[in-house]
Structure 1
């Protein structure tokens, strides 16, 4: 069986307070975007090995057992004693980009295993399992526009559709440390209500829908800030960095051709239609 885990972007990201446990409370809106990996599982012929992971595409640094797809399999295997499987993962979603690629892979793996082995888990069950793998993993179970708060793990639905709009997403060859990005943030109450802003026309989001990480990331990495400027110069109705970076996206009005923009040759560029 095969499935296609998609990425997400953050529409607004406000860091509202630092918690006693050292983490930060935030608010954001997750929105699914059509940049996809490919994930496939087959029953394995090797009964002595629970899983084999085969990776291609974007390189994933780290040990195999730390891959969230493997962790998702082992989590359900512990509960349901699953058969051994061969896992094939083709990565297209950039890593370290604020796009939730690893979290999406994990959530889609849970859904794939649930369907393949008829485990009978509900979306609510799957969200509970996904939440143990990462704060935003559970979002990808229902994979619909979602208002997130807490540490990004408390969800409520939002009435938002960008169907017809187009997205141009740019991932520069720059790594932004999430830990460092958080360390430079000064939590504060946002000037504008995120929920109110997100209900306004997209053309009115600029200046109101803010990613707090931009204030600390752009001075350190001016090239990221320049991508946002270039997107606006070339007709984006809204542009922002996603998560703590380093990817930046521009949203373009329906039926408006996305222009060819001369980004740095080391940038990865993705175009698509939003749903």
Structure 2
């Protein structure tokens, strides 16, 4: 069975408070985009996990895809599978690629072995793997709150808009990003912001990580400004970085970036 785990962008990201468990309460709109990896899974005589595409750092045995398989294998006594991941979405970019891969493993296993797990059950397993994994179970725009794993409906329609996402090859860890953030209660909720015309987002929708990361990585601030200069209705860093995106009315222009940058362009 073959599927294509997709990325997401954050429309705004507000860090509201530090939690007793060490995590942070946040508020953000998660919006799916079709920058995709490829994930294939087949029954096999023994478990095997292989990868191609962009190199993934770390021990393959600790990959979230395997953790997702083992989570269901232990509970449902699943037979062995051969899982192959072709990596296209860059890592350390704030695009949720690894979380998406893990969530799609759960989704594929549910279909492949007819587990009949409902959405709530799949999201429950996904939350054990990572804060934003659960988003990719339903894969539709939501307002994410608490750790980013509790969802509220997002009333938003970006049909007719396109998006350019640029990853400049700067790997920012979650720990590094959060180290520079001072939690603060927002003056305007995400629900209120999304009701405003996209032309106003530049002044009222913010990613709190930009404040500390842009001075440290000036190229990210320049990328954002370049996207506005190219006509973006809204531009921002996504997640904890370092990918920066621009949203354009109609077709996005063909923009030129350095050869070592990874770029995706498509409809929203």
TM-score (norm. length: structure 2): 0.97
User: 1:216 aligns to what?
Assistant: 212
**Displacement of 1:55 after TM fit?**
0.4
Alignment of 1:63-102 (within 5 A): 63-102=59-98
Q: Is the 8 A contact 2:143 2:190 kept in 1?
A: no
Q: Distance in 2 between matches of 1:177 and 1:105?
A: 18
Q: Distance in 1 between matches of 2:189 and 2:125?
A: 31
**Displacement of 1:156 after TM fit?**
1.3
Q: Distance in 2 between matches of 1:159 and 1:106?
A: 27
User: 2:31 aligns to what?
Assistant: 31
Alignment of 1:119-130 (within 5 A): 119-130=115-126
Deviations 1:112-159 (A, max 9, x none): 000010011111110111111111101100101111111111111212
Q: Distance in 2 between matches of 1:182 and 1:271?
A: 28
User: 1:265 aligns to what?
Assistant: 259
User: 2:139 aligns to what?
Assistant: 143
Residue 236 of structure 2 aligns to a residue whose secondary structure is strand
Q: Is the 8 A contact 1:184 1:216 kept in 2?
A: yes
Alignment of 1:143-182 (within 5 A): 143-182=139-178
Q: Distance in 2 between matches of 1:118 and 1:6?
A: 23
Residue 220 of structure 2 aligns to a residue whose secondary structure is helix
User: 1:248 aligns to what?
Assistant: 244
Q: Is the 8 A contact 2:15 2:183 kept in 1?
A: yes
Residue 148 of structure 1 aligns to a residue whose secondary structure is strand
Q: Distance in 1 between matches of 2:254 and 2:155?
A: 32
Alignment of 1:217-232 (within 5 A): 217-232=213-228
Q: Which runs of structure 1 show a deviation greater than 4 angstroms over 4 or more consecutive aligned residues?
A: none
User: 1:201 aligns to what?
Assistant: 197
Residue 159 of structure 2 aligns to a residue whose secondary structure is coil
Q: Distance in 2 between matches of 1:258 and 1:166?
A: 6
Can you give the 5+ residue segments of structure 2 that lack an aligned partner in the other structure?
A: none
**Displacement of 1:66 after TM fit?**
1.1
Q: Is the 8 A contact 1:227 1:263 kept in 2?
A: no
Residue 205 of structure 1 aligns to a residue whose secondary structure is helix
Residue 101 of structure 2 aligns to a residue whose secondary structure is helix
190-199 vs 121-130, which deviates more? 190-199
Deviations 1:200-225 (A, max 9, x none): 22122111110000000000000011
Deviations 1:13-41 (A, max 9, x none): 00111123322111111000010111111
Q: Distance in 1 between matches of 2:79 and 2:57?
A: 27
Q: Distance in 2 between matches of 1:224 and 1:263?
A: 13
Q: Is the 8 A contact 2:96 2:132 kept in 1?
A: yes
Q: Distance in 1 between matches of 2:119 and 2:19?
A: 29
Deviations 1:212-251 (A, max 9, x none): 0000000000001100000000000000000010000000
Q: Distance in 2 between matches of 1:138 and 1:233?
A: 35
TM-score (norm. length: structure 1): 0.95
Can you give the 5+ residue segments of structure 1 that lack an aligned partner in the other structure?
A: none
